[in-house]
Amino acid sequence: MTTASAPGKVILCGEHAVVYGQPAIALPLLDIRATAVVEAAPAGSGIICAMPDVDEQSTFAPTEAHPLATLLRLTLARLGVAAALDLRITLRSAIPIASGMGSGAALGAALVKALATHFDVPLSVADISTLVYESERFFHGTPSGIDNTVVSYEQAIWFMRGQPDAERSSLPTITPIEVGRPFTLVIADTGVRAPTHVTVGAVRERWQAAPQEFDALFAEIGRLVGEIRAYIAAGRIVELGQALNHNQALLREIGVSSPELEQLIAAAHAAGALGAKLSGGGGGGIMLALVEATSQAAVVRALVEAGAVRVLQTVVT
């Protein structure tokens, strides 16, 4: 039996502007993970993947049109292993599904790692990331690549998208960032599901209606992301909090905040958070708050009282 795991992720800053060529910073959630267990199954049973967290009965076979089934096929081919095997694979995840926390990519990375270990074929982190990207691309068109990268490398990253479709195509810029002093984030889920492609589409319409205004907002976010990187490297937590607040003000202007997000952000501020903003697509989904040890418990309590359906805590190192 072989077990492997991969972390969830959050976007710290730069969401939406990143679609227009500005940088973003993404962080692994090292203590909130997806796990894959691979074990031999009775002869003739084939390959069955179970996902008991999704639903006790939820299983899929490698032949199905499912992102993880596709990844399973791609990985077995990459490992040079025949698909006609008898294996039981169990995928579990503590990462909320469809919440912008990278659960799909983390399950994928855990699956690839567990299979590589099980069959004793070494894969580099870049190989793992590429396999997960390939399977996501198959289903989501041209994902930016931020999720597979951060969950495979398990490092805070600076990310700028490449131009996969352009005449002069280019790869994304992915650079690990330096964390000068560990800091703590509290992450809260509004419980409102807002698919990323919907908010991204709404922003595109607004940008088309007022390109100069929106380009200026995106550029200002890009500038802030550069400042945030420097504050993280220098361990300047107070300035980091102020910059996150500024990023939220710009996201509000872009029109991707929501009453539920604003309620949680206000509650986090009132309880002493150093900074708070939405994370990911917005319109619902999750927010994050930067806290000190002295305010952490109060912020968690305030978020629950303000209606968060789930509150997670993580230390960024």
Which residues are near ligand PMV by CB under 6 A?
A: 11, 15-16, 18-19, 100, 144, 196, 200, 280-281
Three-state SS for 144?
Answer: coil
In the chain, DSSP finds a helix count (H) and a strand count (E) of 9, 11
Query: Of 90 and 159, which has the nearer Cβ to ligand PMV?
Result: 159
Q: Could you tell me how many residues make up the chain? A: 317
Query: Of 52 and 195, which has the nearer Cβ to ligand PMV?
Result: 195
Minimum separation from the CB atom of position 214 to ligand PMV (A):
14
CA pair distance 54, 57, nearest whole angstrom: 9
Query: Of 18 and 303, which has the nearer Cβ to ligand PMV?
Result: 18
- Please provide the DSSP assignment of 44-86 as one string: T--EEEE-TTT-TT-EE-TTSSSHHHHHHHHHHHHHT--S---
**Which residues fall within 8 angstroms of residue 313, CB to CB, at 6 or more apart?**
184, 185, 186, 187, 296, 300
Minimum separation from the CB atom of position 148 to ligand PMV (A):
12
Query: Of 223 and 236, which has the nearer Cβ to ligand PMV?
Result: 223
Minimum separation from the CB atom of position 35 to ligand PMV (A):
21
DSSP-derived pairing of the beta strands 47-50 and 87-93: parallel
Nearest to 26 by CA among 176, 191, 193: 176
Minimum separation from the CB atom of position 76 to ligand PMV (A):
28
CA-angle at 100, arms to 99 and 106, nearest 5°: 100
Minimum separation from the CB atom of position 120 to ligand PMV (A):
34
CA 54 to chain centre: 18
CA pair distance 45, 37, nearest whole angstrom: 17
Asked if 160 and 154 touch (Cβ cutoff 8 Å), the reply is no
Query: Of 114 and 256, which has the nearer Cβ to ligand PMV?
Result: 256
Query: Of 15 and 53, which has the nearer Cβ to ligand PMV?
Result: 15
Residue 250: φ, ψ to 5° = -70, -35
Minimum separation from the CB atom of position 169 to ligand PMV (A):
17
Minimum separation from the CB atom of position 257 to ligand PMV (A):
13
Query: Of 62 and 282, which has the nearer Cβ to ligand PMV?
Result: 282
User: Which residue's CB atom is positioned nearest to ligand PMV?
Assistant: 280
